[in-house]
Amino acid sequence: MPGTVYLVGAGPGDPDLLTVRAHALLRQCDAIVYDSLVPNEILQLVSSTCECVFVGKRRGAHSVSQFTTNDILLELVKRHSCVVRLKGGDPFVFGRGGEEAEYLHNHGVSVKVVPGVTSGIAASAYMGIPLTHRDGCSSVTFVAGHEGINKKEPSVNWKSLALSSQNIVIYMGVYNLQFIIDQLIDGGMSPETPSAVIQQATVKGQRYLITTLMQLAEKVEKEQFVSPAIVIIGSVVNFQVEACAPLPSEVTMPNSFS
């Protein structure tokens, strides 16, 4: 196979958070395959001759299946030397990057990963919340609140997480929030545990709220928080230094329906 597929992390949205390597690859690639949660300002970095393929979700429609995405990548890399598979955040954090890397590798394709700033880390920074703190916050767990639809049983044991992790960062958790909170409280987590949710971190429309675990789901619903959002649960929320949070960028996030 002549070309290479680069699995590139686009970061959480603000183009200033792209890595230098991601920026260079976007400028030079012959083809790009991208999904939701990537602002146009980042996509506009590619050359006018670059072949652009969207494989994300459109409102009211299903996303392109993983099977098809793999085929598209395979077909493109037969014709091009530099193919970028661009993913929001980091490609190896809840982004199916592992599945794509495995598929491409098994088909004899050269594939390289370019890490990105994952939204869980960006989200905490943009609220001024450190994810760890020496005063009693030495562990943090990244968890998917919504798992693959093909899984028969949930693979996250929320009850056991309640006591085993001091701080929990939840991706894709907004729609399942009441269930998650009930499980955590059942598992022994205090209903008073400080909790935060941030929507559209780093881009226009960013907003967040801080409350207790017990009140989180109700407030999220009342304030109409929607995806994409990150939930942070744990005492680390109390260490917020709001003044250190950067201002969100003015770019908007299209297709935010994951």
Q: Shortest distance, CB of residue 135 to ligand SAH, whole angstroms? A: 26
The CA-CA-CA angle for residues 81, 87, 88, to 5°, reads 150
35 an active-site residue? yes
Tell me which residues touch ligand SAH (CB under 6 A).
Answer: 12-13, 37, 87-90, 93-95, 118-119, 123, 171-172, 198, 200-203, 227-230, 258
- For the chain, give the number of residues: 258
Cβ–Cβ < 8 Å for 131, 121: yes
Q: Shortest distance, CB of residue 1 to ligand SAH, whole angstroms? A: 26
Give whichever of 3 and 12 is closer to ligand SAH, judged by the CB atom.
12
Q: Shortest distance, CB of residue 143 to ligand SAH, whole angstroms? A: 11
* Whole-number Cα distances in Å, 255 to 38, 59, 62, 80: 8, 7, 12, 27
Give whichever of 215 and 227 is closer to ligand SAH, judged by the CB atom.
227
The catalytic position among 57, 159, 204, 219 is 57
**CA dihedral (172, 200, 121, 160) positive or negative:** negative
57 an active-site residue? yes
Q: Shortest distance, CB of residue 120 to ligand SAH, whole angstroms? A: 6
Give the residue closest to ligand SAH by C-beta.
89
Give whichever of 51 and 227 is closer to ligand SAH, judged by the CB atom.
227
Written as six digits, the tokens of 32 are: 């790009």
14 an active-site residue? no
Give whichever of 3 and 15 is closer to ligand SAH, judged by the CB atom.
15
The catalytic position among 14, 30, 90, 172 is 172
The catalytic position among 35, 90, 189, 253 is 35
Instruction: Give dist(CA 24, CA 3) in Å, integer.
Output: 17
Q: Shortest distance, CB of residue 90 to ligand SAH, whole angstroms? A: 4
Q: Shortest distance, CB of residue 93 to ligand SAH, whole angstroms? A: 4
Instruction: Give dist(CA 132, CA 258) in Å, integer.
Output: 27
Written as six digits, the tokens of 43 are: 């996509």
Beta strands in 128-228 (DSSP E): 140-144, 167-171, 194-199, 207-212
Give whichever of 51 and 209 is closer to ligand SAH, judged by the CB atom.
209
Give the residue among 142, 161, 181, 171 at the shortest CA–CA distance from 230: 171
* Whole-number Cα distances in Å, 2 to 24, 36, 53, 79, 82: 20, 28, 20, 8, 9
Give whichever of 47 and 178 is closer to ligand SAH, judged by the CB atom.
178
What's phi and psi for 165, nearest 5 deg?
Answer: -120, 135
Catalytic residues: 35, 57, 172
